[in-house]
């Protein structure tokens, strides 16, 4: 029988992740927090929450009703709210690796991730460009797609965490084709959209202005669109990014594919920051996350906003078939 639990990684221990995990997972029987149990107990204590932490020896193990279920990963060094420590970078990576392993073996239905701090992980000597890329490597898949959702707006990315100077070279025919196939397939399979309509943005201003402002649209993007349209995909583009998000353009569209991170996500986050959800498409399991960072300035203050992580948990439940 399919397991009925999601794993929630608590993220950077000096950030707001542990607080968010404690506030949202306490007493929730379908959630298991992957974190240091001592950190969770201390967080619950300063929150004034008397929920006990139940340390599990497996994802399937029973937890007492009303407890916070924890799959333990020990911190390397004590965590101090708001103060990054490279010593705990390996701890953060281990929580992700363990959660992914359980999803891959089927002992968990999916995973939800609280924010991590990419800088401190890299400062510790661990090459890490983000959850999306790390989980793709764990799953052994050659390509995944990062998509954020807010209300009825879905924005997926052709490239993820790359410097701007490297983006044109990363817009390649095979990669873009694969990205659109993954987006189309998961809109159908996970979001139950029978015949998705996807808006595809150009890379350059005015979608290249007929080649006068860049050739990627003519050489790569438009040919990929035409090839997939011939297979029955409903695609519009390449579209200028500055007008693609107008209401009349978005009407009837199920998703927008942006060519790079800061082309599509500022609009998405303006529309729904604090309520948006990051979904990784193309994985063999469900993974959702928040739309924000570690908020070190709010860690330990009790002022962390739970909206985005709550939405990520709700979406993971729906995508996993756990929602009522």
d(CA 242, CA 256): 13
d(CA 299, CA 233): 45
* pLDDT tens column, 11-35: 999 999 999 999 999 999 999 999 9
**pTM for the model:** 0.92
102 and 10 in one domain? yes
What pLDDT is recorded for position 272?
83
188 annotated binding-site participant: no
128 and 8 in one domain? yes
192 annotated binding-site participant: no
Burial label for 277, CB within 10 Å (0-12, 13-18, 19+), is buried
What pLDDT is recorded for position 274?
79
d(CA 152, CA 309): 18
209 and 131 in one domain? no
249 and 287 in one domain? no
Spell out a b/e string for 141-179, using b for 16 or more CB atoms within 10 Å of the CB, else e: eeebbbbbbbeebbbbbbbbeeeeeebbeebeeebbbbb
124 and 149 in one domain? no
Give yes or no for residue 321 having a pLDDT over 90: no
How much of the chain, in percent, has pLDDT values that exceed 90? 91
318 annotated binding-site participant: no
Domain that holds residue 207: 143-281
Alpha helix stretches (DSSP H) within 194-257: 216, 222-230, 241-244, 247-250
Kind and range of the H or E element at 251?
none
Average pLDDT of 196-223?
A: 96
Average pLDDT of 245-265?
A: 96
269 annotated binding-site participant: yes
77 and 168 in one domain? no
* pLDDT tens column, 214-231: 999 999 999 999 999 999
* pLDDT tens column, 125-153: 999 998 989 999 999 999 999 999 998 89
d(CA 291, CA 305): 11
102 annotated binding-site participant: no
Contact predicate 196/179, CB 8 Å: no
316 and 244 in one domain? no
23 annotated binding-site participant: no
What pLDDT is recorded for position 3?
55
């Amino acid at each position: 029988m399919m397991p009925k639990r999601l794993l929630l990684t608590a993220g950077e221990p000096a950030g707001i992740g542990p607080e968010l995990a404690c506030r949202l997972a306490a007493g929730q029987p379908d959630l298991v927090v992957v974190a240091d149990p001592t950190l969770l107990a201390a967080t619950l204590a300063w929150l004034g929450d008397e929920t006990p932490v139940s340390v599990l020896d497996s994802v399937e193990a029973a937890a007492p009703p009303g407890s916070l279920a924890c799959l333990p990963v020990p911190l390397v060094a004590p965590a101090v709210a708001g103060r990054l420590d490279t010593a705990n970078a390996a701890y953060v990576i281990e929580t992700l690796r363990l959660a992914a392993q359980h999803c891959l073996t089927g002992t968990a239905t999916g995973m939800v991730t609280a924010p991590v701090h990419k800088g401190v992980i890299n400062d510790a000597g661990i090459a890490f460009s983000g959850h999306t890329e790390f989980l793709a490597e764990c799953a052994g898949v050659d390509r995944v797609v990062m998509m954020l959702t807010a209300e009825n707006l879905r924005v997926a990315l052709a490239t993820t965490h790359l410097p701007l100077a490297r983006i044109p070279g990363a817009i390649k025919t095979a990669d873009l084709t694969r990205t659109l196939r993954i987006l189309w397939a998961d809109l159908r399979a996970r979001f139950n959209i029978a015949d998705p309509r996807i808006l595809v943005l150009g890379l350059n201003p005015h979608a290249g202005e007929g080649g006068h402002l860049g050739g990627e649209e003519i050489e790569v993007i438009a040919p990929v669109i035409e090839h997939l349209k011939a297979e029955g995909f409903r695609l519009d583009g390449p579209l200028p990014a500055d007008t693609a998000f107008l209401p009349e353009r978005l009407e009837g569209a199920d998703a927008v594919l942006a060519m790079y991170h800061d082309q599509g996500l500022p609009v998405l986050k303006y529309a729904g920051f604090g309520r948006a959800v990051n979904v990784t498409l193309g994985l063999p399991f469900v993974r959702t996350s928040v739309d924000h960072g570690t908020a070190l300035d709010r860690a330990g203050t009790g002022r962390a906003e739970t909206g985005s992580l709550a939405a990520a948990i709700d979406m993971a439940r729906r995508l996993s078939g756990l929602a009522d």
